[in-house]
């Protein structure tokens, strides 16, 4: 399998593919199922809806979305730059008939303009620098149809002591300047500079994780 991780300046998690499904719920302090339910509700998939999950990791959320879309005749594609994550996603969830996984870069999506009704991204943007944040947002906007919607969940500006503790501990532990960018509001600035018609924060959890909805004209 081609590994696009070799072509990006973003941080990829091939090394964590085997442990991701154990570590991810721990990072969110058990809030992951609730976050996933909220994301699906915000997507509001309709009949024949096509959804793209950017930075899908091992595909847990992607699969939940696919099962929601299945009775509606919808299709879901999960993408990640880490080839081992995609291998794990296919192994665990490849039996879903309306779901596929591809190892591609968020900043170089191989899909036609306006080919998706919804785009979702959870905990992807704190792995890429400001330039790649903006390039990924541009690609997400490009592949969305007019009046399409994107839902983003990620590390955000902390709002209280516990949030600051979690966010800055993550930065100090992993030494990722991309995390610090999110803590300092760079992701919000990237939203402002994007081609999306509007964006809004719709939820905030643990004092440092926010959910955003971005609308395309």
Could you say which DSSP state residue 132 is in?
A: H
3-state helix, strand, coil in the chain (%, to 5): 45, 25, 30
pTM of the model: 0.92
Could you say which DSSP state residue 81 is in?
A: S
What is the distance between the alpha carbons of residues 112 and 97, in angstroms, rounded to a whole number? 22
**Which CATH number covers residue 20?**
3.40.50.150
Residue 148 lies in domain: 4-215
Contact status, residue 207 vs residue 198, Cβ threshold 8 Å:
no
- Residue 207 is predicted with a pLDDT of 95
What is the distance between the alpha carbons of residues 88 and 132, in angstroms, rounded to a whole number? 25
Q: Strand order in 209-215's β-sheet?
A: 99-103, 75-80, 50-54, 116-122, 144-155, 209-215, 198-205
204: β partners: 210
Tokens found for residue 88: 């794990």
For 2, 134, 138, the CA distances from 91, given in Å and listed in that order, are: 17, 32, 30
- Residue 30 is predicted with a pLDDT of 77
- Residue 183 is predicted with a pLDDT of 97
Number of domains in the chain: 1
Q: What is the mean pLDDT of each run of 10 residues along the chain (217 residues)?
A: 62 55 67 91 96 95 96 97 91 92 96 98 95 97 98 97 91 88 98 98 96 97
- Residue 20 is predicted with a pLDDT of 56
Could you say which DSSP state residue 6 is in?
A: G
What is the distance between the alpha carbons of residues 33 and 133, in angstroms, rounded to a whole number? 25
* 60 HSE (CA, 13 A, CB side): 16
- Residue 140 is predicted with a pLDDT of 98
DSSP-H helix ranges across the chain: 20-27, 32-43, 60-69, 83-93, 130-143, 161-174, 177-183, 186-193
């Amino acid at each position: 399998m081609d590994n696009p991780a070799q072509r990006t300046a973003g941080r990829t998690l091939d090394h964590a593919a085997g442990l991701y499904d154990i570590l991810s719920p721990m990072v969110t302090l058990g809030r992951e199922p609730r976050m996933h339910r909220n994301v699906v509700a915000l997507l509001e998939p309709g009949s024949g809806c096509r959804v793209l999950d950017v930075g899908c990791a091992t595909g847990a959320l992607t699969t939940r979305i696919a099962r929601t879309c299945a009775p509606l005749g919808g299709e879901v594609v999960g993408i990640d730059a880490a080839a081992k994550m995609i291998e794990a996603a296919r192994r665990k969830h490849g039996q879903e008939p309306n779901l596929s996984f591809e190892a591609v870069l968020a900043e170089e999506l191989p899909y036609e303009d306006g080919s998706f009704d919804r785009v979702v991204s959870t905990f992807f943007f704190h792995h890429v620098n400001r330039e790649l944040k903006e390039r990924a947002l541009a690609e997400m906007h490009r592949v969305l149809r007019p009046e399409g919607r994107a839902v983003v969940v990620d590390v955000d500006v902390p709002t209280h002591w516990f949030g600051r503790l979690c966010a800055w501990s993550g930065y100090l532990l992993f030494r990722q300047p991309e995390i610090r960018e999110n803590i300092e509001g760079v992701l919000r600035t990237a939203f402002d500079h994007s081609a999306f018609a509007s964006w809004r924060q719709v939820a905030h959890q643990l004092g440092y994780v926010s959910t955003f909805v971005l609308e395309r004209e």
